[in-house]
Each structure stands twice: as structure tokens, then as C-alpha cells.
């Protein structure tokens, strides 16, 4: 039997990368359609562009239009990217002739999915969050199968082609390796690859007291990096040694920081929440209140129910609240029952299930 050829596209790169590991075990030939810049005009690279070419997987840049709900004029000005992305995708798919297109949502997936649909190439899409975005709702109409992370998402898609797989997470997050007990607790603070100014604003005044009780690694995002760097330089030298900052971490560095943390302070994107769940790490989650359909709030509550996380509202977030919560979580870490419940939420078999779906549909 000939090797299968699969094109992967979409904006949720982390579960896509976990699926790539499984597909490579099956000798599937993989191509990647995606974007190179994470924030247009800044030169900052997307996670997938940093990682995929190094894995020996061909990377093709595809243009697309993001729907700016608060700025329709900006959407109109950038709409030219959509037909360009469609042409790019159509030409590439006609040349590559893949057996299947696997989408991981977001606006970048729409032009490749539309092109694949017209060319008769089967499509599978994966929904990472509890609340599907507009782009994935569009792609789902063209898809032959829809893989979902959370049971409640079943109501958003046609029953006959929707399968609960969970969210693919790299196997390394489920390895039961005993971590060396830290003499001083380690805290990872992250607002995602773009950072969170609201979290940063709450963290900075709390630093002197926080750094007396913990070593802190802080992913600031590129926008706030200089401001946080200046704040670090104003700290006493003793406390500076306990405070490491970075605008962003590579996937490998972020994984290492997450695995070694005693406490994570974070937004509540689905992938981060589920990686925390897989590791069984205590966390303070501050979901974005305005995320589509309140998806981050739902993600945070799902982990909060296991007992692994404390959920704080960004609307009432202060330095004092954050500091008190951090002290409480460090003093009273989650018990084994909480860790077990969280691990079940993370779904260790998700990557294998998505891969099986790809193999089964490709061979029909």
C-alpha cells in the first residue's frame, strides 16, 4: 500500500504537532499549510513556522483573512488575502495531490479547506475548544469528519460525522517521571505566546513578595517585555536571581518550564489547560472574559471542577488577590484525586484517536 499523503493546516498548532508525532509513526507523508507571522508586521514567527521546517516537513505559507469583529474596516482592508490564499491552496493541493486535509481550526484553515472541498479531497477538522469559532463552523460544513475535545461541543456539529477524541497532547506530558523536589517552589507565569497585559499588570506589584517565596519564570509576550525587563532591573539583586523573564519560549523550553513548575499562573486556552491537567500541576487560571462564547471561562471551570485549579476573574484581578491565591495554592497543593480527575480530562489517547480517524478516512 502506498504511503498516505496528508496536508495539515489551521491555527491550533500544539495539538496538530502532537498528531504529527502519531502520523509519522504510520509513515504518513505530511505537508503543512500555515502562516509565518504570529502578529502581522512584527516579524514574530508562529509556533508552527518555528518548529515544522526543523522537523523536515515542507511548510507552505498560505494567506487568509481574519474576521475583526470590533473593526470591520480592517477586515475589509485585508479581505484580499482570502482569494489569494484560496489560489495558493488550490494550486498547491492540485500539485501535491494529498489523500486528506486535516484542519485544526482558525481562519487560516478556511482557504485550504475550501480548495480541498472543490478538488474532492476528504477533510477532517478538529475542534480544540468548548465553543467552536466561525472558521471551524465553516470548515465543518465541508468536512467528512469532525473530531471534538469536549462532549458539550457535540451540539454544535452534525451528529453523524462528529467524534469525541479529546485534544491531542504530546505523550511526554503523560510520562510519570518523578520530578526532583524543589527547595524553593517554582512558578511559571504565562499569558500565552502573545502575553497578557492584565496578568502582567497584576504580577509586577506582587513581585517583591512573590520572589521571596518562589523562583518565577515569566512569559511576558513581546508587547510587555521591555516594561517587565525594566521592572526586573529595579528589584534588589537577590530577587532578580529568582526572576527569569522571556518575551516568548520555544515549545521545548515552555514544555520544560511547565513540567518543572509547582504552580502555573496562566490564561485558560484549551491546550494549556489540558497540558496542565495531564501533568497534574497546581494552577491559577485567569480566563479571557471576551473570548468567543466564553470558551476560556468554560475551559477554566472544567479544570477547576477537578480541584487542580483556582479560577480568578480578570475583571476583579488585583496584585493582592493573585499573591494570596499563589500562597494558598503553594501551601495546599492538589491531592491525588484531583490529579487523577484532571488526567482523565486531558485524554491521553486523543492523538491516537485522531490518527486512526485520518487513516480510516484516507483509505475509504
> What are the extents of the domains in the chain?
5-169+347-362, 173-346
CATH match for 173-346 among 3.40.50.2000, 3.30.70.100, 3.40.50.150, 3.40.50.261:
3.40.50.2000
pLDDT of 56 above 70: yes
- Would you state the cell numbers that stand for residue 199, as one nine-digit string? 496578568
The SS3 call for residue 288 is coil
Q: What is the mean pLDDT of the chain?
A: 90
Q: How far is the C-alpha of 359 from the C-alpha of 346, rounded, in Å?
A: 23
pLDDT band at 39 (very low <50, low <70, confident <90, very high): low
Q: How far is the C-alpha of 38 from the C-alpha of 266, rounded, in Å?
A: 19
pLDDT band at 100 (very low <50, low <70, confident <90, very high): very high
pLDDT at residue 181, as a whole number = 58
Measured torsion, CA atoms of residues 246, 247, 251, 252, in degrees rounded to the nearest 10: -20
According to DSSP, residue 354 is labeled H
Q: How far is the C-alpha of 273 from the C-alpha of 276, rounded, in Å?
A: 5
- Condensed to tens digits (0 to 9), the pLDDT of residues 327-361 reads 999 999 999 999 999 988 888 899 999 999 999 99
- Domain 5-169+347-362 adopts which CATH fold? Rossmann fold (3.40.50)
Mean pLDDT of 184-210: 93
- Would you state the cell numbers that stand for residue 325, as one nine-digit string? 491565591
Look at 186 and 291; give whichever has higher pLDDT.
186
Q: How far is the C-alpha of 235 from the C-alpha of 199, rounded, in Å?
A: 19
pLDDT of 178 above 60: no
Residue 83 forms beta bridges with which residues? none
18, 351 in Cβ contact below 8 A? Answer: yes
pLDDT at residue 131, as a whole number = 81
pLDDT band at 177 (very low <50, low <70, confident <90, very high): low
Mean pLDDT of 303-316: 95
Residue 102 forms beta bridges with which residues? 8, 124
Amino acid at each position: 500500500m502506498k504511503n498516505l499523503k496528508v496536508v495539515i493546516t489551521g491555527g491550533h498548532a500544539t495539538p496538530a504537532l502532537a498528531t504529527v508525532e502519531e502520523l509519522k509513526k504510520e509513515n504518513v507523508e505530511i505537508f503543512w499549510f500555515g502562516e509565518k507571522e504570529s502578529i502581522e508586521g512584527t516579524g514574530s514567527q508562529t509556533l508552527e513556522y518555528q518548529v515544522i521546517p526543523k522537523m523536515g516537513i515542507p511548510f507552505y505559507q498560505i494567506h487568509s483573512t481574519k474576521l475583526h469583529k470590533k473593526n470591520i474596516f480592517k477586515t475589509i482592508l485585508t479581505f484580499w488575502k482570502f482569494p489569494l490564499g484560496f489560489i495558493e491552496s488550490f494550486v498547491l493541493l492540485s500539485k501535491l495531490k494529498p489523500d486528506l486535509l486535516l484542519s485544526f481550526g482558525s481562519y487560516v484553515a478556511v482557504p485550504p479547506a475550501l480548495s480541498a472541498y472543490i478538488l474532492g479531497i476528504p477533510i477532517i477538522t478538529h475542534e480544540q475548544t468548548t465553543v467552536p469559532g466561525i472558521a471551524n463552523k465553516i470548515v465543518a460544513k465541508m468536512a467528512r469528519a469532525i473530531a471534538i475535545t469536549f462532549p458539550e461541543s457535540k451540539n454544535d456539529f452534525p451528529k453523524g460525522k462528529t467524534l469525541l477524541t479529546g485534544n491531542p497532547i504530546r505523550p511526554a506530558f503523560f510520562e510519570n517521571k518523578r520530578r526532583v523536589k524543589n527547595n524553593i517552589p517554582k512558578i511559571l507565569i504565562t499569558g500565552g505566546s502573545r502575553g497578557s497585559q492584565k496578568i502582567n499588570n497584576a504580577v509586577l506589584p506582587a513581585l517583591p513578595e512573590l520572589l521571596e517565596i518562589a523562583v518565577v519564570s515569566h512569559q511576558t509576550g513581546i508587547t510587555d517585555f521591555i516594561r517587565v525587563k525594566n521592572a526586573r532591573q529595579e528589584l534588589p539583586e537577590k530577587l532578580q536571581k529568582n526572576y527569569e523573564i522571556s518575551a516568548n519560549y520555544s515549545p521545548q523550553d515552555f514544555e520544560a518550564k511547565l513540567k518543572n513548575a509547582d504552580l502555573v499562573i496562566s490564561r485558560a486556552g484549551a491546550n494549556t489547560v489540558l497540558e496542565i491537567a495531564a501533568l497534574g500541576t497546581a494552577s491559577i487560571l485567569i480566563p479571557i472574559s471576551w473570548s468567543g462564547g466564553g470558551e476560556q471561562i468554560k475551559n477554566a471551570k472544567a479544570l477547576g471542577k477537578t480541584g487542580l485549579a483556582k479560577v480568578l476573574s480578570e475583571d476583579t484581578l488585583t496584585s493582592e488577590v493573585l499573591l494570596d491565591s499563589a500562597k494558598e495554592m503553594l501551601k495546599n497543593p492538589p491531592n491525588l484525586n484531583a490529579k487523577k480527575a484532571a488526567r482523565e480530562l486531558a485524554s491521553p489517547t486523543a492523538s491516537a484517536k485522531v490518527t486512526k480517524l485520518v487513516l480510516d478516512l484516507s483509505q475509504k
